[in-house]
Amino acid sequence: DSGVTQTPKHLITATGQRVTLRCSPRSGDLSVYWYQQSLDQGLQFLIQYYNGEERAKGNILERFSAQQFPDLHSELNLSSLELGDSALYFCASSALQGASGGDTQYFGPGTRLTVL
């Protein structure tokens, strides 16, 4: 158990809908990262937050957004869902913002999103 929790574990929804995925980082970790893993695209970095502020953006669609709250939990919002958004969405956390280099990311169990 990494100490990172994600809810829900599974989510089934229809095209055009909006969903929110939730992540609670390990105790004391300030950084949260969101990743998308699909069969044909591998692991794709979406976005990183550090202590409530956006730190880096990866291949995140404009339909997707995220935030990190004062208690450091994070939410990933996916809107106008398309069939191709079906994937595993992982959250990871680390102690720092990555500047120390050796900062290790610890992953949650993921949320499996199915868009029908």
CA distances 100 to 26, 28, 96, 108, Å, are 18, 16, 7, 22
Q: With respect to another protein, which residue has the nearer C-beta, 42 or 70?
A: 42
Which residues sit at the interface with another protein, rule CB under 8 A? 2, 4, 42-43, 45, 48, 55-56, 58, 90, 92, 97-99, 101-110
Report in angstroms how near the CB of residue 63 gets to another protein at its nearest: 22
Q: With respect to another protein, which residue has the nearer C-beta, 79 or 97?
A: 97
Report in angstroms how near the CB of residue 43 gets to another protein at its nearest: 5
Closest CA to 81 of 6, 35, 8, 13: 13
Cβ–Cβ < 8 Å for 16, 115 = no
